[in-house]
Amino acid sequence: MQKAVFLDRDGVINSDEGRYYVHREEDFVLTPQLGEQLKALQEAGFLLIVISNQGGVARGVYGVQEVERLNSLLRGQMAKHGVQLTEFYTCPHHPDFGKCLCRKPLPLLVQKALARFDVDPSRSYFIGDRESDMETARSAGVKGLLVKRNAGIAGAVEEILAAGG
């Protein structure tokens, strides 16, 4: 079985400071040393999987195409650091517009990735900036690491690597 690090997007991978629903390329600013941190995780044998709520789609602020464009941009920027992002799982729904089974804090998107990539949850982590991310981690059986919003993932990466990666 493999091990993985699941990452929230807005506030963890990219800064969302002062922005309402990041969806434009000019607003997509990566958090500090993201490429180097993800490279260290990848070299330690982790799959890197992005799990993101994108409620702006349901609200009509932007479309799925904008989400995919930013995911592609991120994939390209990380490739410059030698980082391969394994997959992106996105919930385009919002609770103001109905219920769904994929929106965090529900664990469905993480569970899909666990099954698809044969990931051992006991050796995996979820890095997020909200308590709902930690709830997702608990529900999926992976260790949650809470980081300060927009501050980067260095502390979480250090903790993962110190635990033996």
* Residues designated catalytic: 8, 10
Give the Cα separation of 157 and 165 in Å (integer).
9
Cis before 107? omega within 30: no
Give the Cα separation of 128 and 50 in Å (integer).
10
Q: Which amino acid is at 4?
A: A
Contact 135, 143 (CB under 8 A): no
Give the Cα separation of 73 and 71 in Å (integer).
5
Contact 123, 3 (CB under 8 A): yes
